[in-house]
C-alpha cells in the first residue's frame, strides 16, 4: 500500500517469546501499537505462546503465535521464515536474548531476509556480565542494530560482545500515557476491607527473586506501630513464576507477623484502574534495567518509593516524583516508607501530579517510538 507522494510502507515484525505481562513484553506491544502507520505496517510474532497482552495489541497488528516447545524447533524456524516472506518483512525487532538468538538462527539458515534490530532488556547484569560464544556470535553476525534500555547494557554490548558503537543505541522505555489517564478507579479500599484512614500502597511486581519482595517485608517489620497499622499493601503480580521464592515470601510474611497488612491480587488485566485506587506505590528490585513499572506509577499519578536500580529510576531520582533508596537496604526502605506514610495526602497527590506530567513530557511511548523509527530509517 502506498500513500500519495510517499514511499511504500515498510513491514515491521515485533517478536517476543510470549505475550505474558512482563516488562519487556509490554514494551514490545506498545512499540507495535505506536509505530507511525503512514510509514510502517506492524505485525507481531510470539515464538512460544500468546498471553494476556494479546488483548492490548491494536486491531491492525497481525499476530502469529508459533507455539515452539523447544529452544531450537526446526519446524517453527521454517514456519517463522515463511511468515516473514509472506508478509514481506523488512525489519524484525526482537525483544529478549532468547528471541534474538531464535531470529538470528533463522537468518543464518537463510530462512529470513530482513534487517534485525535487537532490543535488550536483560536485568541480571549484577550477576552475569559475560557473553558466551553463542550469544556473541549471534549478535555480531545476525544483528544489525542494538537497542539497550540501560546505559550498562549498551556498554556491555560494546565491551563484552564487541558490537560496533555506531550501531548501539540507548533507548529508555516509554509508557502509553493514554492507558492510565481518566480511568475509573477500582475501590481498592473496599476490595480489601480497609478503613477510611488507611493508606493503600501498591506494588506491581510478579513474584520473582529479582523483584525482592522480602526487602519490603523486612522494612515493614521495622516501621513504628502507628505507621504499620495504617498501611495496607496490595501486590499485583503472578505467584507461579518462581514457586519456591513465592513460598519463601509467604513464610516470611507469616514469621514477621504482617500478614494482615499484605493483600495478594494475583495477575490482573486492570492494573491502571487498580493503581488509580491507591495512595502511593513501591518497588524493591535488586536490579533492573528499566524499570517500566516506575513509569506506570508516574502515569497513574502515584508517587512512589523505589530502589535505584535502573535507567528510569536514576533519571527521575531528583525530580520530586518519588523517594529513591539503595537496593537491599532495609533501614533506608523503612525510612522512605515512613516519610511517604506520614506525608500530608495533599502533598503526596501533588507529587503524583508532577510525576504524571514528567511521564507525559519525557517518557511517552510516542516519543520513544520515534527514536526507534530513526534507527529503522538507517536500515531502510
Per-residue pLDDT of the chain (380 residues; tens, 9 = 90+): 444 445 689 999 999 999 988 889 999 999 999 999 999 999 999 999 999 999 999 999 999 999 999 988 999 999 999 999 999 999 999 999 999 999 999 999 999 999 999 999 987 766 567 788 989 999 999 999 999 999 999 999 999 999 999 999 999 989 999 999 889 999 999 999 999 999 999 999 999 999 999 999 999 999 999 999 999 999 999 999 899 999 999 999 999 999 999 999 999 989 999 999 999 999 999 988 778 899 999 999 999 999 988 777 877 878 899 999 999 999 999 999 999 999 999 999 999 999 999 999 999 999 999 999 999 999 99
The model's pTM is 0.86
Element (H, E) at 53: none
Cα–Cα distances (Å) from 44 to 278, 321, 375, in that order, read 33, 34, 19
Predicted pLDDT at 298: 96
Predicted pLDDT at 316: 83
- CA atoms of 231 and 261, how far apart (whole Å): 7
Peptide bond into 271 cis (omega under 30): no
Predicted pLDDT at 291: 84
- CA atoms of 57 and 59, how far apart (whole Å): 6
Burial (CB < 10 A; 0-12, 13-18, 19+), residue 138, is: buried
Element (H, E) at 307: strand 304-307
Burial (CB < 10 A; 0-12, 13-18, 19+), residue 46, is: buried
Phi and psi for 102 in degrees, rounded to 5?
Answer: -65, -50
Amino acid at each position: 500500500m502506498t500513500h500519495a507522494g510517499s514511499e511504500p510502507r515498510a513491514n515491521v515484525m515485533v517478536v517476543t517469546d510470549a505475550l505474558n505481562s512482563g516488562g519487556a513484553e509490554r514494551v514490545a506491544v506498545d512499540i507495535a501499537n505506536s509505530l507511525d502507520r503512514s510509514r510502517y505496517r506492524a505485525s507481531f510474532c510470539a515464538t512460544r505462546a500468546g498471553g494476556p497482552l494479546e488483548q492490548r495489541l491494536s486491531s491492525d497488528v497481525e499476530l502469529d503465535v508459533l507455539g515452539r516447545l523447544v529452544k531450537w524447533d526446526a519446524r517453527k524456524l521454517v514456519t517463522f521464515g515463511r511468515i516473514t516472506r509472506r508478509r514481506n518483512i523488512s525489519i524484525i525487532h526482537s525483544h529478549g536474548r532468547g528471541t534474538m538468538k531464535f531470529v538470528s538462527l533463522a537468518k543464518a539458515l537463510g530462512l529470513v531476509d530482513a534487517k534485525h534490530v535487537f532490543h535488550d532488556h536483560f536485568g541480571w547484569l549484577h550477576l552475569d556480565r559475560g557473553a558466551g560464544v553463542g550469544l556473541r556470535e549471534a549478535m555480531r553476525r545476525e544483528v544489525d542494530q542494538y537497542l539497550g534500555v540501560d546505559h550498562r547494557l549498551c556498554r556491555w554490548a560494546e565491551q563484552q560482545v564487541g558490537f560496533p558503537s555506531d550501531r548501539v543505541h540507548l533507548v529508555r522505555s516509554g509508557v502509553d500515557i493514554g492507558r492510565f489517564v481518566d480511568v475509573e478507579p477500582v475501590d481498592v479500599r473496599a476490595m480489601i476491607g480497609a478503613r477510611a484512614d488507611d493508606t493503600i500502597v501498591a506494588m506491581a511486581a510478579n513474584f520473582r527473586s529479582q523483584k525482592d519482595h522480602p526487602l519490603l517485608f523486612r522494612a515493614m517489620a521495622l516501621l513504628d506501630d502507628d505507621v504499620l497499622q495504617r498501611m495496607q499493601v496490595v501486590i499485583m503480580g503472578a505467584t507461579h513464576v518462581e514457586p519456591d521464592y513465592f513460598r519463601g515470601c509467604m513464610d516470611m510474611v507469616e514469621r514477621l507477623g504482617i500478614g494482615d497488612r499484605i493483600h495478594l491480587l494475583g495477575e490482573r488485566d486492570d492494573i491502571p484502574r487498580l493503581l488509580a485506587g491507591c495512595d502511593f506505590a513501591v518497588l524493591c528490585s535488586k536490579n533492573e534495567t528499566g524499570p517500566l513499572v516506575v513509569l506506570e506509577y508516574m502515569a497513574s499519578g502515584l508517587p512512589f518509593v523505589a530502589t535505584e536500580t535502573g535507567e528510569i529510576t536514576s533519571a527521575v531520582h531528583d525530580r520530586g516524583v518519588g523517594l529513591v533508596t539503595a537496593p537491599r537496604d532495609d533501614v533506608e526502605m523503612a525510612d522512605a516508607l515512613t516519610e511517604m506514610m506520614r506525608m500530608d495526602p495533599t502533598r503526596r497527590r501533588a507529587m503524583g501530579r508532577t510525576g504524571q506530567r514528567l511521564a507525559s513530557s519525557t517518557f511517552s511511548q510516542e516519543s520513544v517510538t520515534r527514536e526507534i523509527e530513526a534507527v529503522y530509517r538507517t536500515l531502510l
